[in-house]
Amino acid sequence: MSRIGVFICHCGENIGGTVDCEKVAETAAKYPGVAYSVDYKYMCSDPGQNMIKDAIKEHKLTGVVVAACSPRMHEPTFRKAVSEAGINPFLCEMANLREHCSWVHLKDDSTTEKAEELVKVLVEKVKRNQPLEPIKVPVTKTALVLGGGIAGIQAALDIANSGHKVIMIEKSPSIGGHMSQLSETFPTLDCSQCILTPRMVEVAQHPNITLYTYAELVGLDGFIGNFQASIKLKAKSIDHDICNGCGDCIAKCPIKKIPDEFNAGLGTRTAVYVPFPQAVPNKPVIDRENCTYFTRDGKCGLCAKVCTKGAIDYSQKDEIITIDVGAVVVATGFDIKGTDFFPEYGYGRYKDVITGLQFERLASASGPTLGEIKRPSDGKVPQNIVFIACAGSRDPAKGIEYCSKICCMYTAKHAMLYKHKVHQGKASVFYMDIRAGGKMYEEFVRRAIEEDDVNYIRGRVSRIYEKNGKLIVKGVDTLLDAYPVEIEADMVVLATAGIANEGSEELAQSLHISYDQHNFFAEAHPKLKPVETNTAGIMLAGACQSPKDIPDSVSQASGAAVKVAALFSKDELTRDPLIAYVNRCGPPTYSTCVGCFLCVSVCPYLAIEKEQIKDRNGNLIKEVAKINPGLCQGCGTCVALCRSKSIDIYGYSHSQVFAEVMALFNERSLENV
């Protein structure tokens, strides 16, 4: 005979404001098998937990139902509490009265009735729960860091410095990410390269870090502590073990007109290339999509002829390697909208309407103009420059409702850099609001306005068109008395919206992590778990989660690294034993499994194998399915498919689920178990 305790939580107003919790507790007390029932304002608090522990002892409870929030939120909390009172933690279940009831319904008698039914169902389930022991699994103490931008670099260095191995993969030929493209950084105007490149070198030289550039993740299997990552190493066509980085091949490459990604399309590069002079590794790769040796069947081959080391290897093939890792830090960064996204600003047809990232390259000492502000169309120094903040961002009509966060600050920086380089020039900024929340940020913007005499105009720009070699910027000044503004500019810089990388949706799917409607990766909790994902063992760092500036990216990366280090501080992990099993029984059947192995074909985790049952003499009696507890994730697909009902799941057995369903339909089925 079960003795179940039911604990109804008000969750402050969250549940109590909609559901009559007192009534639910009273009703629950009458369910067969319920020995104790009570409601309380915050069941997860210390007094609430003690209430549960005391009741277990006092009423000799054999099972517990906590009716509160989602089990995602507090199941571990309550299971820990009941185990402290001496009950197996798997004899505690949660009824979700918040997400499944009070948050989605209005205050009404029927809402309370639904809450009562949710409790009733769980009471029937917990009556049939069995004590279970967590499964212990070993931890592979190697972290995989995806992306070699500043977030990935920081996470990798922090993990490596805490004594664990790190595999870093970067899809482009060099690490450094967007930060390596920046000129100076706000709010201090220190040079981006000067603070970044030493860290890049550190990554390359760190004994605990293995760096794979020109590489992409193609798949991730397994679970926390025990992932298997498949990584594609794209053919570099150059043997980096032999190459000494002399650059002769680059100098001789005849394909010179490829838009340079590092310079945001403002310059050109060759087909065999190093993205930028300070690249890590500082050895070239051959871009096969543009190299004539590959596009025109072996024509050219000049680089192989000039290479004194014989490092050029056209026959290299893409290679897939598989690596065991215990945790993953996703730091794949972001992208920005191009100028072609803006019909009103010319659909990208005006050469002198550029993006913020392109301006960074113009202002950078390593850029195509060596740091001189020259406009792309004719190389003249613009005497009148206009910056447009919120280009695309905060614009629901353009499908981007969010604030891209970094633009206010970098636009102020751009205007400042321009004024520092072109003293007599005029700089104007069109803005919606100035969002300068951050240490020394507001002061920085004021400096641009007050000391560097940047003309800030609060209003939007409705159109840009080109006339007489000038860009006519038509906007409005909405302060004081709204009036139209027309500026004849030489160059316009759009602070275009920060967006998720192309392919981030597919990456999220292959990592089994969530992503939002804009394809930014989703954190497990917006406030309390900002670096974890919903998949245990996978952390987020940097702008792949949402647009972020450098300090925020670095902080988050260090946070992710700590989570990884904490995970690696244990030799074993425990995981819930809610996995499938194939029944076994005595002779002559041994198991109801008939060996059809349909389950093998559907298991997404390849967790089912064949087992031979033999007699004492070693003669085969029958072949049945066997589930590997280390691989099974308890998804239940095999259970649904098993024709002879030979597979069941611990914690979600047929008898438990049927009891739950029957509880809703048939009062008489509530037998005393």
Partner 1 sequence: MIKIAYFPGCSLEGSSKEYNESLLAVSKEFEIQLEEVHDWNCCGATAAHNLNKVLSISLPARTLALAEKQGFSEILVPCAACYSRLLTAYNELNKDAALLEKVKEILEIDFSAKVKPFTVIDFIQKHIQPKLKEKVKKPLNAKIACYYGCLLVRPPKLVEVERYEDPLMMESIVKELGATPLDWAFKTECCGAGLSVSRTSTVGKLCSKILDDALSRGATMFAVACPMCQSNLDMRRRNANVFLNEKADAPVLFITQLIGLALGLDKKELGLQRHFVPFNLEIFDKPIPKETLGKSKKVEEV
CB of 9 to partner 1, least distance (A): 42
CB of 516 to partner 1, least distance (A): 23
CB of 548 to partner 1, least distance (A): 31
Q: Which of 343, 437, 503, 604 binds partner 1 (CB under 8 A)?
A: 343
CB of 484 to partner 1, least distance (A): 5
Which C-beta is closer to partner 1: that of 166 or that of 464? 464
Q: Is 468 in the site for partner 1 (CB under 8 A)?
A: yes
SS (H, E, C) 586-636: CCCCCCCCCCCCHHHHHCCCCCEEEEEEECCCCCEEEEEEEECCCCCCCCC
CB of 265 to partner 1, least distance (A): 21
Which C-beta is closer to partner 1: that of 479 or that of 664? 479
C-alpha radius of gyration, the chain, whole number: 31
DSSP 312: B
Which C-beta is closer to partner 1: that of 107 or that of 463? 463
- Rounded CA-CA distance 549/552 in Å is 6
Q: Is 344 in the site for partner 1 (CB under 8 A)?
A: yes
Q: Is 472 in the site for partner 1 (CB under 8 A)?
A: yes
Q: Is 315 in the site for partner 1 (CB under 8 A)?
A: no
Options 271-279, 414-422, 467-475, 569-577: segment touching partner 1 (CB under 8 A): 467-475
CB of 203 to partner 1, least distance (A): 45
Closest CA to 391 of 333, 432, 424: 432
Q: Is 486 in the site for partner 1 (CB under 8 A)?
A: yes
CB of 458 to partner 1, least distance (A): 18
SS (H, E, C) 158-210: HHHHCCCEEEEEECCCCCCCHHHHCCEECCCCEEHHHHHHHHHHHHHHCCCEE
Closest CA to 430 of 338, 518, 345, 340: 345
CB of 394 to partner 1, least distance (A): 18
Q: Is 480 in the site for partner 1 (CB under 8 A)?
A: no
Q: Which residues lie across from 622 on neighbouring strands?
A: 613
Options 48-56, 319-327, 418-426, 463-471: segment touching partner 1 (CB under 8 A): 463-471
The token pair at 84 is 């402290």
Q: Which of 138, 347, 479, 569 binds partner 1 (CB under 8 A)?
A: 347
CB of 430 to partner 1, least distance (A): 17
Indicate left, alpha or beta for 87 from its phi (over 0: left) and psi (-120 to 50: alpha): beta
Options 15-23, 108-116, 339-347, 658-666: segment touching partner 1 (CB under 8 A): 339-347
Which C-beta is closer to partner 1: that of 300 or that of 471? 471
DSSP 344: G
CB of 52 to partner 1, least distance (A): 52
Please name the helix (run of DSSP H) or strand (run of DSSP E) that holds residue 156, with its range, or none: helix 150-161
Q: Within a 10 A sphere around the Cβ of 15, how many other Cβ atoms?
A: 27
Q: Is 483 in the site for partner 1 (CB under 8 A)?
A: yes
Which C-beta is closer to partner 1: that of 150 or that of 471? 471
Q: Which of 16, 152, 346, 376 binds partner 1 (CB under 8 A)?
A: 346
Options 15-23, 264-272, 344-352, 607-615: segment touching partner 1 (CB under 8 A): 344-352
First CA to last CA distance, the chain: 6
CB of 340 to partner 1, least distance (A): 11
Q: Which of 423, 439, 467, 616 binds partner 1 (CB under 8 A)?
A: 467
Q: Which of 57, 59, 380, 463 binds partner 1 (CB under 8 A)?
A: 463
Which C-beta is closer to partner 1: that of 350 or that of 418? 350
**Do residues 540 and 519 lie in contact, with contact meaning Cβ atoms separated by under 8 Å?**
no
Q: Is 475 in the site for partner 1 (CB under 8 A)?
A: no
Which C-beta is closer to partner 1: that of 463 or that of 512? 463
CB of 460 to partner 1, least distance (A): 14
Q: Is 399 in the site for partner 1 (CB under 8 A)?
A: no
CB of 490 to partner 1, least distance (A): 17
**Do residues 92 and 623 lie in contact, with contact meaning Cβ atoms separated by under 8 Å?**
no
Which C-beta is closer to partner 1: that of 381 or that of 472? 472
Options 69-77, 209-217, 478-486, 651-659: segment touching partner 1 (CB under 8 A): 478-486
Residues found in the chain: 673
CB of 471 to partner 1, least distance (A): 10
CB of 470 to partner 1, least distance (A): 11
Which C-beta is closer to partner 1: that of 483 or that of 658? 483
How many amino acids of this chain bind partner 1 (CB under 8 A)?
Answer: 13
DSSP string, 484-545: EEEEEESEEEEEEPEEEPTTHHHHHHHHT--B-TTSPBPPSBTTTBSSB-SSTTEEE-GGGT
Which C-beta is closer to partner 1: that of 465 or that of 658? 465
Interacting residues of 640 by C-beta distance below 8 A, sequence separation 6+: none
Q: Which of 47, 57, 465, 669 binds partner 1 (CB under 8 A)?
A: 465
CB of 482 to partner 1, least distance (A): 12
Which C-beta is closer to partner 1: that of 396 or that of 526? 396
Q: Which residues lie across from 142 on neighbouring strands?
A: 165
Q: Which residues lie across from 336 on neighbouring strands?
A: 498
DSSP string, 46-105: HHHHHHHHHHHHHHT-SEEEEEES-HHHHHHHHHHHHHHTTS-GGGEEEEE-IIIIITTS
Which C-beta is closer to partner 1: that of 462 or that of 601? 462
Q: Within a 10 A sphere around the Cβ of 366, how many other Cβ atoms?
A: 18
Q: Which of 22, 216, 442, 466 binds partner 1 (CB under 8 A)?
A: 466
DSSP string, 382-409: PSEEEEEEEESTTBGGGTB-S--SSHHH
Which C-beta is closer to partner 1: that of 137 or that of 476? 476
Residue numbers 578-607 binding partner 1 by CB under 8 A: none
Which C-beta is closer to partner 1: that of 347 or that of 658? 347
Which C-beta is closer to partner 1: that of 463 or that of 610? 463
- Rounded CA-CA distance 267/277 in Å is 14
Interacting residues of 587 by C-beta distance below 8 A, sequence separation 6+: none
- Rounded CA-CA distance 37/28 in Å is 6
- Rounded CA-CA distance 524/534 in Å is 5
Q: Does residue 530 have a cis peptide bond before it, meaning omega lies within 30 degrees of 0? A: no
CB of 473 to partner 1, least distance (A): 12
Map residues 545-564 to x or -, x wherever contact with partner 1 holds by CB under 8 A.
--------------------
Q: State residue 629 phi and psi, 5-degree precision.
A: -65, -20
Which C-beta is closer to partner 1: that of 472 or that of 641? 472
- Surface-to-core class of residue 245, CB atoms within 10 Å of its CB (0-12 exposed, 13-18 middle, 19+ buried): middle
- Rounded CA-CA distance 418/82 in Å is 64
Binding site for partner 1 (CB under 8 A): 343-344, 346-347, 463, 465-468, 472, 483-484, 486
